[in-house]
Structure 1
């Protein structure tokens, strides 16, 4: 882990920027030192030679053999440039010398007059002297104490001019310059390193921030945004990354929503396919029994199993009953399909709730009287239901027959109305066993049947009755439902209020 962190540090943009600045500063300092070591001496000599040449030309232009004319000028040159000047005539006699002009002692005079140039010059180029009028060389004082860079030139008057500058200053300047360059180089290098660190930190911070944003986007985390305020290319890049993050977030959200919708459609298609297969199975199962009975009794009649007229009539009655049962199932399926497809449009009118309930109770009188049930309609109010009378009667009839089937003998069934701000509810409550909560949504599906002990569907147990109820109420833009109550179950029809009639 530590080694990986070190590798990441060494490969980071900040470290490479800092290293580049450090390397450039180090190269600059090294080049300066090398140039100083290699070329400072030659450069210094070149500048001094150019100065000696300039002084030679000035003296040659102004000197006419009378040294008094140049006395002040020569002193200025000597003091300003530290140049020692000597002029010798053709006979080897000194006309002027810097040291002799200051110290006219006999020793100096004797030394100068007895030793003009010849033994003091180490070497000089006589050909250059003849061609250019001057040449350069090196020499020492008569006592050998000081070395000089010298210019030996012939003046237009025929006299010889010797200009010399001490070279000790050159060696001293070169040493001091080298030490100064070393110190200034180290200081400059340190300053460059420090500046490189802070500059690199300043310019790499937005890059690091943008890298974090890009990594978050790669992980589909769009919460991080670039927050820099730079107005340069880095700022534009950061804002572009933010825009890209927003676009990707929107695109991915849209794609996820499309995938969700597609999954819903796939699930719905699968549900419809399952319902279709289940529908075929259920219809086949519900038709198989009556068809088998009809076929069996018809074959018995044909072969004459029973000779008596009473048995023949019994067989015919069974065949007729089973045919009616099949016809009832097929008609229920056709009616359900018509309602669901919108082929049956409710013809809405204002209906008294009590009148509708009374008609249903009357039609089922034989059934509830057979079980000696108590029917209570005292809870029905004066409300008017706005809907199709026949369809609502059929829906309420399904509820009533289910209630009769599942109410124990001597039990109680109540029909009543209630309302809220937007809907009128017509309810049928019966004593008996409750429904499991997970079954309350499934009982409205076609052919859904509970266990035999609590089959809550109408139409001879076909499992279509409650599906027809739901289709009827959907056509009325209403609803239907069921809830468990203290001593049984309550089914209800919900209709929107007719504000015009109210």
Structure 2
């Protein structure tokens, strides 16, 4: 069974804490005594230098300073003359001592030559440390010995037993402190590991819920460290996954709709092919019949011949329109439907298109309403804009009611010109307002077939406006239907 993060963290902290206490005890035992002795040596050297600078040959001159140093450092101070005779001693008792290093005794009974030889070993400005033992007291001393400027010998000694006691006390203190720290550390490590792993367990629980596609539960971690950031990231990931899955479901639904729409479009195309075949066959048959009649000279009068010719021309016009629409549709679907922008007078173009339909307006008794303003210079593909106007006006003519009114209106905004074509007549059903821009779509199939429409004109308008990056649309208003489109104003040249 694998250990939890909480257990591993708890064990790691305790191990680290105990290791630290053990290392501290070992270092203290190995190096604290030597460190303490070195510090004592530095203190003795500093005081020896101070006494050396102040000493003039008479200890009485620096009696106060000698007493202060002896009391502060806990040491005893001796000064001997060149012959080894004691001329100053800070303690009342004469130390019966020997050097551990060379076992030489410093007694008053020692020979003069022996004392002189020992004194000559010390040099002025050089500080010699010796470990000496008081033979009577059996106490070791750390002794600093140096020669003063007049040849006298200064000896400052401190008992090593005080150093040993200090080190032992320090060791005991560290052991006791280590035990207390370890005990408190165990409690702290348990509480810390529990607090530390609690948000991780919370994140793990939320991750499990996310795996089950449950994104309702969120992290409530308020920390500002990496774990807090992890909680925020988990919340963000949960929200993003929730959004992504929701969007995916929506897109799947839309894909199903698109598939259904494509199926309907395919059905419309099949119907279109059938209609086109019928529409092509019908005018071709009519043209063939009337052309054969003209060739056979079955007509007896000029009026009959003109009628035959008009029929042939009308059927040819329908076929030409169908072929043009098919060509435009092919260009749209293949991506070769392009525009060439130029600057032109939009008002003049509207007048030109309306004049082309003047005879039809008269023939069908349609009232055309258009009040041209000042010249509107726009930027766009003039041929394609003419195609939009033509499709809108054809659509208005084919759907105008008995009131027979068509209105063309132009309006300016800051950067656009909006052109609208209104015809009196029945409203377009709401469910068809968006669909009429699709290829092959017909609101009233019977009526569309009657005037020779194939459901391509408005889809071509849509493609032209999208290439211009401009808006277009249709709306049912009081009395009829209004189609509109926008075009860019021409930029004024400075």
Structure 1 length as normaliser, TM-score? Answer: 0.48
Query: Which structure has the larger Rg over C-alpha atoms?
Result: 1
Structure 2 length as normaliser, TM-score? Answer: 0.49
